[in-house]
Structure 1
């Protein structure tokens, strides 16, 4: 890898505050620290999220419906922890998109939710950012949004459509992926301690765990994983310090969050490669311009 990534630009498109940290926190912190310009676009404010902090239960959508603005603050704190200064929401004012809730729930039907957004209109909003930022690398979800959440699926659709419409040619596009072998290792470790990971008996039980053949790149961000953990703590209404994510790291070590995995869907796999043939640098083969 290079010692400096000045002149290199990365854009990440995520559905809700906290998705970016769980999926890409170490990657974001690493490249930002090495000089790359890292831009995060979050499509909703996470208004329909479950509130895990008892004292903040009143923020929930079915009570004061003020969780979204609270999560804006959490996201700002998380980005500060990761060293990211350029983070934006997709759309403002009348074009602001609301969290759609889990698939099959009543909020899916609200006219203002992201799931109901017109694809061409929403992607045009993202094109404005793409044409401004001119990213060399784009990161988003796969076609099922990782695990089937409507906002994740829509974020995938919007990001991919925007990449087609943008006047800027993005050299490499990656989708987040969590390999089954890594999840299985976590499940096995927690079983030995008499616990479980999200109630799963095996990795195949979790919709976001994909076959290892989908892994084309692995970023070793372990030197920056403490920043990721601080960012996870910042998303306190969504991630419990004593919950499954932190339990996994307690049992497997922080490398379970320091290593982040990707499927390359546009561009060529480039050296350096690790012993399994995975790319080690998402900017490999990119010429800054």
Structure 2
């Protein structure tokens, strides 16, 4: 087989790959899986990011957009975060290919479900809050998207929603309920991964950043940032080739995220320094498991 023929075979394989990622709010897609999105887009896969809410209850960084907030403000933050998500997804997309720029897709349409805010907050009682939705409604909507897109790989949160946010937990639960419906309709299986942070990668990133903590930021206290033991990680995806796209996408979420001058760390409104990883980690929780030694480096391993 010639080099050209080999390339065409590889292209045809990656072009048939379909990756679906579910997230609760704009910025989650980049924080948790931005490099993975950019990597698979660059390789020619079809990628779909489904966002459940507009993130109306987010805490705004700085003064420029501070009056957009829901609590005592204009309650226009959700609309602005559509713009941020659109910009971030474009940053993650292959440059110079306007036909392949990833666009947002919201569950039920933009604004259908509202950001619930943290547990126990008044926003969690809002009649449109995701936490208030009859469970079957988002399940049915996501099952329809899964059936339409027919992904081979789905990425979601763990059962704790990474850090316990009610909307993250709901995304996990809705995805778990929608997948069997889609599987039955499609007659195919799906590999399902939970996006997590590896303990040693987090510690290495924090150690590397110890001498360059921006003014006003602080390192996390012990156990403050969620992480998983190294031994439970089943997949590690190297995103170093698209690292700059991930950083640009993080910067696009400027109401929620500040990127350090080094381009190697970020902070949310709490000003807690967090490394920007060049490897993203996952735990496979469902679907066919490839017979490969050690961790997978490709979420589609065993499917091509």
What TM bracket, shorter-length normalisation? 0.7 to 0.9
Structural RMSD (CA): 2.5
- The equivalent of 2:270 in structure 1 is none
Q: Distance between the aligned counterparts of 1:38 and 1:286, measured in 2?
A: 16
- The equivalent of 1:239 in structure 2 is 257
Does the 8 Å CA contact 1:51/1:238 hold for their aligned counterparts?
A: yes
My pick for the range that moved more, 231-240 or 83-92, is 83-92
- The equivalent of 1:282 in structure 2 is 299
What SS does the aligned partner of 1:205 have?
coil
- The equivalent of 2:238 in structure 1 is 220
- The equivalent of 2:125 in structure 1 is 109
Q: Distance between the aligned counterparts of 2:40 and 2:145, measured in 1?
A: 20
Q: Distance between the aligned counterparts of 1:245 and 1:100, measured in 2?
A: 31
Q: Distance between the aligned counterparts of 1:245 and 1:142, measured in 2?
A: 27
Choose which of 36, 50, 75 in structure 2 pairs with 1:41: 50
Deviations 1:253-288 (A, max 9, x none): xx9422100000112443665xxx11010001114x
Q: Distance between the aligned counterparts of 2:75 and 2:134, measured in 1?
A: 24
| Counterpart mapping for 1:29-178 below 5 A | 29-62=38-71, 63-83=73-93, 84-92=101-109, 96-166=112-182, 167-168=185-186, 169-178=188-197
Gaps of 5+ in 1: 250-254
Q: How many residue pairs get matched? A: 276
Normalised by the size of structure 1, how large is the TM-score?
Answer: 0.87
Runs of 4 or more consecutive aligned structure 1 residues displaced over 6 Å after TM superposition: 194-197
Q: CA deviation at 1:170?
A: 3.9
Please tell me whether Structure 1 or Structure 2 has the larger radius of gyration of its CA atoms: 2
Choose which of 261, 275, 284 in structure 2 pairs with 1:264: 284
My pick for the range that moved more, 186-195 or 52-61, is 186-195
Matched, 1:210 2:228: yes
Say if 1:56 and 1:205 are closer, same or farther in 2 by CA, change over 3 A: closer
Say if 1:190 and 1:229 are closer, same or farther in 2 by CA, change over 3 A: closer
Q: CA deviation at 1:197?
A: 7.6
Normalised by the size of structure 2, how large is the TM-score?
Answer: 0.83
